């Protein structure tokens, strides 16, 4: 026996409408900053072999830390909103995502501090 087909609800928003609400200028800015941080780190680590390598790496890690910090803040705000709506699943995954992003931010900022200390001692 087959399960009955689900009839789409005309009052529910379409996929395009939901996707349009999910693409916001803030999310685009965070995505662009993430890509720029990875490009700067990749350029400094693989291509640049001059005396600007350490400052570029430090800048890339600071930018990456700021991106992860913004994502962790977004996860915290999503957690608060999901908790007030009694949505346990969304709250759990927002807490998990925000916590991992906070760990990533701490690691990126720690790496930037180490690189900045090395840079100051070599110059």
Res. 36 pLDDT band, cuts 50 70 90: very high
In a domain, 34, yes or no: yes
pLDDT for the residue 101: 96
Domain hosting 115: range is 26-122
pLDDT at 11 over 90: no
Q: Which two tokens stand for residue 54?
A: 């350490």
Look at the chain and report how many structural domains it folds into: 1
Q: What is the pLDDT of residue 13?
A: 59
Query: Does residue 12 belong to any structural domain of this protein?
Result: no
- 117: which 2 tokens? 């200390």
Q: Is 8 part of a structural domain of the chain?
A: no
Lowest-confidence segment of 11-20, 68-77, 90-99 by average pLDDT? 11-20
Is 95 inside a domain boundary? yes
Q: What is the value of pTM for the model shown? A: 0.78
Task: Mark out the alpha helices in 85-123 (DSSP H runs).
Answer: 88-122
């Amino acid at each position: 026996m087959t399960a009955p087909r689900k009839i789409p609800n005309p009052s529910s928003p379409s996929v395009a409408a939901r996707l349009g609400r999910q693409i916001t200028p803030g999310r685009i800015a965070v995505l662009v900053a993430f890509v720029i941080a990875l490009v700067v780190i990749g350029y400094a680590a693989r291509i640049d072999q001059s005396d600007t390598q350490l400052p570029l790496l430090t800048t890339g890690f600071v930018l990456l830390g700021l991106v992860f910090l913004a994502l962790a803040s977004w996860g915290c705000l999503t957690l608060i909103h999901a908790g007030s709506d009694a949505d346990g699943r969304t709250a759990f995954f927002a807490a998990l995502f925000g916590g991992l992003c906070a760990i990533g931010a701490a690691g990126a900022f720690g790496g930037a501090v180490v690189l900045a200390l090395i840079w100051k001692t070599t110059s």
